[in-house]
């Protein structure tokens, strides 16, 4: 018998990474079709299935661990709803590109589970690939709503992936790096300590600017990265110590920035 206690991911940041690309893709799409409801269902349950699967992999790493039928049942439920919703869109509406993007997402999920089995799921590569997979929600929503897969859909994927990728480096800077080190006295030293975060942000901003120059994205799309760039510079200067570290406040700040990013991208493309 299935207990109604579904395993739900607790990371608020990952929910923003799921929701923002989907909403951006839907709003920017030149047309709208009610079948997007099925896509939202498929995307939600595909996102949910990763959590119980990861927990099962972690349990099986431990010698003598018993089977967890509760997690297995909910994995089957999440996976079944994803397959039915996605399959209906692909086969019933001939949205064949969704199948390819679904395969890409599945491969990224498999890679994530492999990292979990090796206790490496929190490394930069694993987190970035997971974010790039969630960013597929933008072109998938755009394509499902309009039936078109064009340069705008591709640009939305790149822009969402680049933006949320920056959060990986920023969180590592503020949570894992700065609290463990004494605050440098000089600005130059602080910038050097934050070079990974600042370098990524510079590269991301440069790529979006290049897309705009090549007319693959609107020029205003560059503005969507300005608040995050200012946040990174401010984060490098204002050193985070253990006493002042507040994960809830940091999470809320990231959600606010994600909302601002979404609004600026929508304005840019509309």
| Segment 158-213, tens digit of pLDDT | 999 999 999 999 999 999 999 998 899 888 899 999 999 999 999 999 999 999 99
Where is the domain boundary, 106, 132, 148? 148
**pLDDT number for residue 65:** 64
Q: 56 and 119: one domain? A: yes
**pLDDT number for residue 75:** 93
Q: 100 and 134: one domain? A: yes
Q: 121 and 187: one domain? A: no
**pLDDT number for residue 12:** 76
Q: 47 and 70: one domain? A: yes
Domain count, the chain: 2
**pLDDT number for residue 173:** 93
Model confidence at 120: pLDDT above 90: no
**pLDDT number for residue 9:** 86
Q: 140 and 12: one domain? A: yes
Model confidence band, residue 84 (pLDDT cutoffs 50, 70, 90):
very high
Structural domain including 261 reads 150-270
**pLDDT number for residue 204:** 96
Q: 133 and 159: one domain? A: no
Q: Domain containing 26 — which CATH number?
A: 1.10.357
- Give the whole-angstrom CA distance, residue 104 versus residue 251: 28
**2 occurs within a structural domain:** no
Q: 136 and 209: one domain? A: no
Model confidence at 63: pLDDT above 80: no
Model confidence band, residue 88 (pLDDT cutoffs 50, 70, 90):
very high
| Residue 9 near residue 48 (C-beta atoms within 8 A) | yes
Beta-carbon contacts of 205 under 8 Å, excluding residues fewer than 6 positions away, are 222, 225, 229
pTM: 0.92
Where is the domain boundary, 115, 148, 181? 148
**CB burial class (10 A; 0-12, 13-18, 19+) of residue 113?**
middle
Q: What is the mean pLDDT of residues 3-13?
A: 80
- Give the whole-angstrom CA distance, residue 250 versus residue 120: 24
Long-range contacts, stretch 115-121, CB < 8 angstroms, 24+ apart = 116/54, 116/57, 116/58, 117/57, 117/61, 119/61, 121/54
């Amino acid at each position: 018998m299935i207990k109604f206690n579904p395993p739900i991911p607790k990371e608020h940041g990952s929910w923003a990474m799921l929701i923002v690309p989907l909403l951006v893709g839907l709003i920017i799409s030149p047309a709208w079709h009610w079948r997007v409801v099925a896509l939202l269902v498929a995307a939600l349950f595909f996102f949910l299935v990763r959590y119980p699967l990861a927990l099962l992999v972690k349990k099986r790493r431990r010698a003598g661990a018993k089977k967890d039928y509760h997690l297995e049942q909910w994995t089957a439920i999440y996976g079944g709803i994803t397959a039915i919703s996605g399959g209906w869109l692909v086969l019933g509406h001939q949205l064949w590109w969704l199948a390819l993007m679904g395969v890409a997402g599945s491969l990224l999920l498999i890679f994530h589970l492999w990292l979990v089995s090796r206790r490496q799921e929190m490394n930069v590569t694993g987190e970035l690939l997971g974010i790039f997979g969630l960013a597929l929600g933008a072109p998938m929503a755009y394509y499902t709503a309009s039936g078109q897969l064009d340069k705008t859909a591709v640009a939305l994927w790149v822009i969402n992936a680049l933006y949320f990728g920056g959060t990986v480096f920023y969180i590592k800077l503020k949570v894992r790096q700065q609290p463990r080190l004494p605050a440098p006295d000089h600005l130059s030293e602080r910038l050097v300590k934050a070079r990974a975060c600042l370098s990524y942000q510079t590269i991301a901003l440069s790529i979006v600017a290049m897309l705009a120059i090549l007319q693959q994205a609107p020029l205003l799309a560059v503005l969507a990265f300005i608040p995050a760039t200012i946040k990174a510079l401010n984060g490098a200067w204002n050193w985070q110590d253990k006493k002042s570290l507040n994960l809830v406040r940091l999470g809320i700040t990231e959600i606010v920035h994600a909302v601002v990013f979404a609004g600026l991208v929508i304005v840019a493309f509309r």
